[in-house]
Every structure is written in C-alpha cells, then in structure tokens.
Amino acid sequence: MKRAIFPGSFDPITLGHYDLIKRSIPLFDEIVIAVGTNSEKKYMFSLKARMDFIEETFEGHNSLVIANYEGLTIDFCNKCNADFIIRGLRNSTDFEFEKVIAHTNRKLSGIETIFLLTSANTSYISSSIVREIISNKGDYRLLVPDAVRI
C-alpha cells in the first residue's frame, strides 16, 4: 500500500491545501492529513476546529485519514507506516526551505518527500495571509474551502 502524509498546521486549511490534496489522491492508496500541533505556537483555530474544517471539506473521500500529531514528522510517518511526505511548493523560497527538510528527513529515515507545485490560481494563498485577513475582519471566503466559516 502506498501511504503518504500531508503534514501542516492547517490554521486554517486553504484552497491551496485543498488543491494539493485533491491532486494527490490518485497518486496514493491512502493519504493521512496530519494536523501538527506545537506547544510553542499560537493558533487562531483550535485543533478540533482545524480537524473539523478538513473533515467537512473532504467528507466522502475514503482514501483520506485525518490525524493529529506532535513531534517529528518522520516519527509520525513511521507510526503510520507512511513512506512518503507530500509538500506543496508555491515559489523558489518554499523550495529552498523544503529541500533542506526533505534531505534531512530522507537521511534520517529513508522517507521520500514528494513535491507538488501549487496551481497558478492558488499559489498566492497562505494560511498566514488568511489569518491576517480574518484578524482584520476582511473577506477571507475566496481563499478557503466552504467548511471554514467563522
């Protein structure tokens, strides 16, 4: 079975995440959407809300599993028996950052990282931009799936 994880904080899930996950579904038998938590990070949305947004967005997709994890992504991959990590690349800055992590993960665990380029129509979207818009009471709805409602 080809199993991958798609890790992130998903605070909140965006249409960029949605696009990458949808495009990844045919590539793997199962994808674990791994919602990371970091005790040192302050989230806008609770873990439950973030997981609920994802669950509602992908309702009916049987090859997707939503799980929470803490710690190293490669440790979570091992726990899930996943051989692949899916990461999206919006630009060259993302590539340089993700490349170092991918090399380290492969060296430490043998787990491969699969990079997907974001679609042109979602490449400008990030969770941090969405959070900024929400914080300033702007209209964020064109940047997130319908499940993300305040």
Q: What is the pLDDT of residues 79-119, one digit of tens each?
A: 999 999 999 999 999 999 999 999 999 999 999 999 999 99
- Selecting among 9, 50, 87, 127, the annotated active-site residue is 127
State yes or no: is 41 an active-site residue. yes
User: What's the longest Cα–Cα distance across the chain?
Assistant: 45
Sequence-separated (6 or more) residues with CB below 8 Å from residue 109: 74, 77, 78
Q: What is the per-residue pLDDT for 39?
A: 78
The topology (CATH level 3) of 3-143 is Rossmann fold (3.40.50)
Q: Which tokens belong to 89?
A: 């690349």
Domain boundaries, the chain: 3-143
- Selecting among 9, 17, 50, 87, the annotated active-site residue is 17
Angle at 17 between CA 115 and CA 65, to 5 degrees: 90
Residue where the block lists tokens 């793997």: 28
C-alpha dist (Å) from residue 98 to 41, 93, 105: 20, 9, 10
Alpha helices in the chain (DSSP H): 15-24, 47-57, 73-80, 92-109, 127-135
State yes or no: is 50 an active-site residue. no
Q: What is the per-residue pLDDT for 89?
A: 97
Q: Show pLDDT as tens, one digit a residue, over the chain (150 residues).
A: 999 999 999 999 999 999 999 999 999 999 999 999 987 889 999 999 999 999 999 999 999 999 999 999 999 999 999 999 999 999 999 999 999 999 999 999 999 999 999 999 999 999 999 999 999 999 999 999 999 988
Q: At what angle do helices 92-109 and 73-80 cross, to 10 degrees?
A: 60
State yes or no: is 90 an active-site residue. yes
- Selecting among 3, 22, 90, 131, the annotated active-site residue is 90
Q: What is the per-residue pLDDT for 123?
A: 94
